[in-house]
Amino acid sequence: MSDKRTFFSTRLGVLAATVGSAVGLGNIWRFPYEAGTHGGGAFLLCYIFFVFLIGVPVICSEFAMGRRSRTGIPGAFQHLNKGRSGWNWIGWIGIAGAVMIISFYSVVAGWTLEYTIDSAVGMFSDHVQHNRHAEFLAFTQGWKPSLWVVVFMGINGLVLLGGVQKGIERVSNILMPLLFLILLAFCINSLLLPGAGEGLRFLFNPDFSQLTPTVILGAMGQAFFSLSLGMGCMITYASYFKDDTPLMKTSIQIATLDTLVAILSGVIIFPAVFSFGMSPAEGPTLVFEVLPNIFQQMSGGRIWSTLFFLLLAVASLTSLISVSEIAIAFFVDHLKMKRHMATLTLTLVGTILGVLCALSFGPLKNLDLFNAFDYISSNILLPLGGMSTSIFAGWVMKRSTLYAELQGKGKLPRAAGEAIVISLRWIAPACVLAVFIAGLMI
């Protein structure tokens, strides 16, 4: 535990950084295709329900653990377990998951930079229907994605070299308002499209006949993963919180804003999909193969396409920063490295592994680290980490410690505290276990 720990300087900085951690490709890329393939409105309602049923309590627990321990993982588990190391393995899961996520996430983030540049120079502005699937495959199977990994990891490293206040907080304070401005501009444009009403009905008019166990599990998983839970992002960021940061209020704000971004992404995409006769159930290809064809048919499509992929790039960067900070905090707190050396080390390791993941679609397709890292982190490490963190906070961590951190310098209604404990002890572990088992069966 560091006695010279840096803190976020303002509450706005806290909110911008933590929302930036939660908001990422999971909201803008994954949510629309999950909602599209699971029937729209019914999925959305389930998603919102699970965000507040399990998401908010787990965020609260991670915040309480991070601020009380004033260290990242696995030190938080050891500190809160009276110095014993029996639960440290959860922290190691978080470190391993963070490194894997950095590796493959930087590849997808690099794709967003490629498409931003292509949009800006007019690659998607002609009126010829391209075979976007073939174009996307040709791009991902080449060497160009490796270059974008290097570029994106370099940008990420420069931000992190600035530290908590001058790097993470300062950049988050700029990028998060920019992200919401772009989202709102897009929503206005989508709502003015002919046939937008059909897309809105698909998203907001639930058909409960489609509420199957698969839809419920999908919504549960989306709620968990979109909030960046299970790997220690929130524990690490909370270790930089001042004592007067209201943890429960901040948790609710994060969940609300994260959900708002997902909904706004749906408002952007589904009216456009229906207006131009596309299917909402296009799956993961929706963003990189379907939307470029839609943008080229829009008035001002070149501008909208550029802004959209810039939006994805911004969301990718804020998330990648937070995941990277997990490992950097570990290097600094436990390996006693200087921050600049920790940042350079992580950037080098992440870049090498990211390049190997990028080549998984072409020269190294037999190795396929991209899908291996994605599967192991998303289907095994994160659910295990999230489930174990809930159990630790609900059963091992002293309830008085949890209450004291959540209360801070204000008041914590007894009913709210009890509800959080019940969720951490029973509901969240059961829900995450269901997601874990479903993920292993895919």
Reported as a single tens digit per residue, the pLDDT across 407-441 is 877 778 888 999 999 999 999 999 999 999 988 88
Contact 206, 47 (CB under 8 A): no
What is residue 1's predicted lDDT score, i.e. its pLDDT?
42
Q: Is the pLDDT of residue 30 over 70?
A: yes
Task: Please state, in angstroms and as integers, the Cα–Cα distance from residue 33 to each residue in 212, 233, 435, following that order.
Answer: 17, 25, 18
Range from 108-112, 118-122, 276-280 carrying the lowest mean pLDDT:
276-280
3-state helix, strand, coil in the chain (%, to 5): 75, 0, 25
One-letter identity of residue 294: I
Q: Would you call 82 helix, strand, or coil by DSSP? A: coil
Query: Residues in the chain, how many?
Result: 442
Report domain extents, the chain.
Answer: 11-441
Q: Is the pLDDT of residue 282 over 80?
A: no
Distance CA 239, CA 4 (A): 12
What is residue 33's predicted lDDT score, i.e. its pLDDT?
84
Q: Which residue has the tokens 């707190």?
A: 333
Q: Is the pLDDT of residue 243 over 60?
A: yes
Q: If pLDDT is split at 50, 70 and 90, which confidence band does 129 have?
A: low
Range from 50-59, 206-215, 234-243 carrying the lowest mean pLDDT:
206-215
Q: Shortest CA distance to 239 belongs to which of 381, 394, 403, 71?
A: 71
Q: Shortest CA distance to 186 belongs to which of 33, 43, 313, 306?
A: 306
Q: Shortest CA distance to 324 belongs to which of 109, 125, 179?
A: 109
Q: Is the pLDDT of residue 127 over 60?
A: no
What is residue 3's predicted lDDT score, i.e. its pLDDT?
46
* Topology annotation, domain 11-441: Amino acid/polyamine transporter I (1.20.1740)
Q: Is the pLDDT of residue 275 over 50?
A: yes
